[in-house]
Amino acid sequence: MLILRRKKDESILIGDNIRITIVECGSEGVRIAIDAPKQISILREELSKAEVVNKDALMPQSEFLHAMQAALLKRHPQHQENTSDKEPGMEITTDQKDNIAAAAENES
């Protein structure tokens, strides 16, 4: 790995068309400006981690969900009374619950 020391307003060049300039240095962090062609993806590392976590969370299996809900409910029975009106969220009607149950059966 190459490690360089740069001061404010100094740049480094990567290849022919990427320039990274130090805009500001401070105790809170460093601000950098990146000039690069549009097709090059630039992402804060934590955002790319957040993408991976979201993808791993996609489409939970309904039988696992119900097992987790039952376990959580056991530990937080008081939550039922605490459900706040201001929280967004819709209830599933009985019909819809039947559909979910049917969907769960089809899955298994």
Query: Can you give the binding site for another protein, defined by CB under 8 A?
Result: 44, 46-47, 49-62, 64-69, 71-73, 75-76, 79-80, 83, 86-100, 102-103, 107
Would you say 7 or 86 has its CB closer to another protein?
Answer: 86
Least distance in angstroms from the C-beta of 3 to another protein: 23
The answer to whether 20 touches 32, Cβ cutoff 8 Å, is yes
Closest CA to 25 of 17, 33, 36: 33
DSSP code string of 13-27: EETTTEEEEEEEEET
Residue 95 C-beta: closest distance to another protein, Å: 8
